[in-house]
Amino acid sequence: MGIRQIQVTRAIEKIVKYYLLEGKYPTLQTITYHFGQWLRGNVPGAPGFKATKLFRRQKSDTDLYNSDIRLIHQDISDAYEATIQQTTRIMSDFTFADTERQKMWNLLAGISKKVDQLLLVSQNGAGYVDANILNFYDMSSVNGQRTTAYINLKDRQVTLRENERNSNKVLLNGSQAKFNSLTANVVHAALETINNAFDDDINSAWWQVVKVDAPTTIQAELIVVFPQEEEINEVVYVAHSVKPVFMQLEYTYDGLTFSPIPGEKDKRKVVDKSVWSFSKITVKGIRFSFEKKDHDDYSGGVYQYYFGAKNITASKKDYVSEGILYTTPIVFDTPNINQVSIKAGHEIPHGTEVDYEVASYDESKDLDTLLWFPISSLDETTPKYAKVVEFSARPTKFVEMAKAEPTLEIKNGMQVFRLIKDDGDGTLPHDFEEMRNQVLMRGINQWRRERTYVKFDGTMPLNGSWKDQYDNRPEAVRIDYLAISNTLSLKRDGGGSTDNFYRFTTCIQSDETRVVPMSLAILKSQENGPKKRMGAFAVYVNQKRLVASNEEVTITLEPGWNEIQVLYHFGNMQMRQDFIETELPNETYLGKFNLALEKRVRADKEPLKLVDAHTLYYNISPNSRDCFAIYEQQVVLNYLPKSCIFQLSYEVEDSEAQNNQVVLRAMLKREENVPHISPKINLIEVRAR
């Protein structure tokens, strides 16, 4: 509000106040008339005091003097008030703009991260990321000392190691093989004997020529009949021809009828070598079906098509149950790697699996001590793990704050409270822009105690009753925090001397399923007579009420965080009425379950929600205590917590930690009932940003 608005508002208030003091309610026309008269003698926004010339005898006129002093004082007061209001508005606008800038910066950072992830998993994104390809032409990319899988450099693939005790090779010779042309009106002859295909000598080869007068597609076959039935699960064909041949492998039980190998119904293009791996089958023979579309030579008016093989083998192979591939450090041009994805070319038959893991390489650490992240290939339609792994150098920082104090700042009529450490310092070590994934936990190693007064009627206290208290009379609920212990304080310091309704809450993290008993001291011994029951109780675990027997419950802790709530309602059980203040207990006990032995305990299971400072004080109810903001490098709240220990955790970029090396490992496995099958890895493309 500027000086002009202040003067106009004061003039209108003066007009209205005059008529109200006279016992009249001014109409709009009356106010407009008097306000118009005021405008004739005053300029809104200009000083009310004007320099005037006085006659000599008027210099001693105190009324005139005091009137001028009042006008000067009014003008100065208006300027002062306008300056404060304008400054406050500017600061508020600046805070809002700065908050919006930070929100936009975080939003853009998230969008940038999402774009990087999309590039890493895009089929055509290799040109936009740093990529390395492992193709197993040699052992340069393999850590031979740690790798237990078999690296087949000849076939350029990684498989499980062969179990040689249970493996055997079928003995083949040329007398068992026969080549037939399936295309009519052709002439074929063997340029090199068929025996060369089965001598295990790569320097010799079988070579067959098919001649035809006009170019056409040549269909042919090579049938190999075994002397007896054999179990096989792998056939290798090393080709010897000029141009590619399309081939299909088939098998026979009787030597007459042939069927395609399971899962191999289509012909494959063979240029150099082809390997068929399949589930173990018992066969009497195999057949190679050939198809060649282009002639290899033309001479003397005859088109010549060549078929041949340097080596043909059929075998039954058994494999060990598992093996691991470790790569050598993969070095990228990017100075610091944040995200990694892989594209794996592999064959995973039914009953086998391949799991990939990546880690940021640190030469000072053993490979087993690195932090390994499971990852799935980016082309998988149903990935088992994440397709993008993020292991940027972001160490997690922890700041524990056990005190709180009000600041001198007021926002929207609400006082601002900040958290401070034991030394009284509330400034965080890092700026808000440097922090990532801020999480504020409340009640570290503490109970959260809630207490209020509810008329005692002898019934069991329930969580639903507490919900009614927060819905209908939240101002009557007193909340504080107590150190974790088996002794529960019921003292009513700081108000609420008649409070008899209590709820104690804490959360315990368990690594495994545990069953523990817990007893409650609800009976009090009397000097003369039996023990006296002090009230009713209930125990909840993960929002489920437990059934008590003889003041004892059995608690089942599941893996992860478990919320335990103990409710008390104290009163005279016999008369079903309230205790007087002197009869109310000051403490109670929990037995059998030693809470002091628990390593990870906090009062609130869920963390507080991070919002910006403007939202905290303008858009959130003052009764809501589940939000916090980081404002001017401090943790601020909209309430003053009592004896509560907070822990702020966040990640920061470590500018000194630069790492552009990644290691990968692949775990190849097979099920026990398929010893004759192995997964195969042909190629791995590792991408990084």
Q: What tens digit of pLDDT does each residue of 46-93 get? A: 888 877 777 777 777 778 788 888 888 888 988 888 888 888 888 878
- Residue-level pLDDT at 123: 65
The whole-angstrom separation of Cα 631 and Cα 636 is 7
Read off the pTM: 0.51
- Residue-level pLDDT at 227: 87
> At residue 682, does pLDDT exceed 70?
yes
- Residue-level pLDDT at 654: 64
> Residues 6 or more apart from 232 whose CB is under 8 A from it?
170, 280, 281, 283, 286, 314, 315, 316
- Residue-level pLDDT at 394: 65
Task: Please state, as a whole number, how many other Cβ atoms lie within 10 Å of the Cβ of residue 440.
Answer: 23
The whole-angstrom separation of Cα 292 and Cα 211 is 12
Burial class (CB in 10 A: 0-12, 13-18, 19+), 428: buried
The whole-angstrom separation of Cα 121 and Cα 119 is 6
Tokens of residue 535, six digits: 């009230």
> Residues 6 or more apart from 148 whose CB is under 8 A from it?
161, 322, 323, 324
- Residue-level pLDDT at 474: 87
Banded model confidence at residue 393, pLDDT cuts 50, 70, 90: low
- Residue-level pLDDT at 388: 87
- Residue-level pLDDT at 174: 87
Banded model confidence at residue 392, pLDDT cuts 50, 70, 90: low
Range of weakest confidence among 29-43, 120-134, 342-356, 382-396: 120-134
Range of weakest confidence among 123-127, 319-323, 536-540: 123-127
Domain 130-149+321-393+659-688 - what CATH class?
Answer: mainly beta
Residue 129 is given by DSSP the state: S
DSSP tally for the chain: helices H, then strands E: 5, 43
Question: In angstroms, what is the C-alpha Rg of the chain?
Answer: 43
Nearest to 306 by CA among 292, 317, 318: 292
Q: Do domains 168-316 and 446-602 have the same CATH topology?
A: yes
Tokens of residue 557, six digits: 């802790």
Mean predicted confidence (pLDDT) in 6-17? 88
pLDDT (tens digit per residue) in 260-273: 988 788 899 998 88
Q: How many residues does the chain have?
A: 689
Residue 612 is given by DSSP the state: -
Task: Please state, as a whole number, how many other Cβ atoms lie within 10 Å of the Cβ of residue 249.
Answer: 20
Range of weakest confidence among 120-134, 297-311, 597-611: 120-134
The whole-angstrom separation of Cα 686 and Cα 665 is 12
Q: Let me know: does 234 contact 317? Beta carbons within 8 Å.
A: yes
Q: Let me know: does 84 contact 92? Beta carbons within 8 Å.
A: no
> At residue 99, does pLDDT exceed 80?
no
Query: Helix or strand or coil: residue 98?
Result: helix
Handedness of CA 428, 431, 436, 438 (dihedral sign): positive
The whole-angstrom separation of Cα 406 and Cα 420 is 10
The whole-angstrom separation of Cα 303 and Cα 244 is 16
Mean predicted confidence (pLDDT) in 311-329? 92
Question: 436 vs 593, which has greater pLDDT?
Answer: 593
What CATH architecture applies to the domain 168-316? Answer: Sandwich (2.60)
Return the H-helix or E-strand segment holding 515.
strand 514-520
Q: Give percent of the chain with pLDDT exceeding 90.
A: 43
- Residue-level pLDDT at 107: 80
List alpha helices for 23-152, DSSP H: 28-41, 62-121
Banded model confidence at residue 307, pLDDT cuts 50, 70, 90: very high
Nearest to 233 by CA among 678, 636, 620: 678
Question: 652 vs 606, which has greater pLDDT?
Answer: 606
Banded model confidence at residue 135, pLDDT cuts 50, 70, 90: confident
The whole-angstrom separation of Cα 103 and Cα 99 is 6
Nearest to 432 by CA among 585, 612, 271, 575: 612
Banded model confidence at residue 608, pLDDT cuts 50, 70, 90: very high
The whole-angstrom separation of Cα 345 and Cα 219 is 31
Return the H-helix or E-strand segment holding 488.
strand 487-489
Nearest to 515 by CA among 554, 467, 472, 462: 554
> Residues 6 or more apart from 158 whose CB is under 8 A from it?
136, 149, 150, 151, 152, 325, 666, 668, 680, 681
Banded model confidence at residue 490, pLDDT cuts 50, 70, 90: very high
Q: Any bridge partners for residue 82, and if so which? A: none
Q: Let me know: does 70 contact 48? Beta carbons within 8 Å.
A: no
> At residue 113, does pLDDT exceed 80?
no
Mean predicted confidence (pLDDT) in 9-37? 88
Mean predicted confidence (pLDDT) in 121-134? 72
Max intra-chain CA distance, the chain: 147
Banded model confidence at residue 259, pLDDT cuts 50, 70, 90: very high
> At residue 374, does pLDDT exceed 60?
yes
Banded model confidence at residue 173, pLDDT cuts 50, 70, 90: confident
- Residue-level pLDDT at 178: 92
- Residue-level pLDDT at 355: 94
Work out whether strand 258-260 and strand 297-299 pair parallel, antiparallel, or are unpaired.
Answer: unpaired
Q: Let me know: does 305 contact 219? Beta carbons within 8 Å.
A: no
Mean predicted confidence (pLDDT) in 252-256? 88
pLDDT (tens digit per residue) in 574-593: 889 999 988 899 999 999 99
> At residue 201, does pLDDT exceed 90?
no
Q: What is the mean pLDDT of the chain?
A: 88
Query: Helix or strand or coil: residue 605?
Result: coil
- Residue-level pLDDT at 19: 87
The whole-angstrom separation of Cα 473 and Cα 465 is 12
Mean predicted confidence (pLDDT) in 598-608? 92
- Residue-level pLDDT at 536: 93
Nearest to 667 by CA among 355, 351, 376: 355
- Residue-level pLDDT at 242: 83
Mean predicted confidence (pLDDT) in 5-33? 88
Tokens of residue 34, six digits: 């008097």
Query: Helix or strand or coil: residue 461?
Result: coil
Banded model confidence at residue 109, pLDDT cuts 50, 70, 90: confident
Mean predicted confidence (pLDDT) in 644-671? 85
Banded model confidence at residue 645, pLDDT cuts 50, 70, 90: very high
Task: Output b/e per residue, 394-419; b: 16+ Cβ within 10 A.
Answer: beeeebebbbbeeeeeebeeeebbbb
Question: 205 vs 530, which has greater pLDDT?
Answer: 205
Amino acid at 192: E
- Residue-level pLDDT at 526: 66
Banded model confidence at residue 179, pLDDT cuts 50, 70, 90: very high
The whole-angstrom separation of Cα 671 and Cα 232 is 19
Banded model confidence at residue 528, pLDDT cuts 50, 70, 90: low
> Residues 6 or more apart from 571 whose CB is under 8 A from it?
456, 457, 458, 500, 535, 536, 577, 578, 579
Range of weakest confidence among 80-84, 525-529, 608-612, 623-627: 525-529
Nearest to 537 by CA among 430, 458, 640: 458
Domain over 446-602 is classified CATH 2.60.120 = yes
Q: Where are the domains of the chain?
A: 3-51+61-95, 130-149+321-393+659-688, 168-316, 396-442+608-652, 446-602
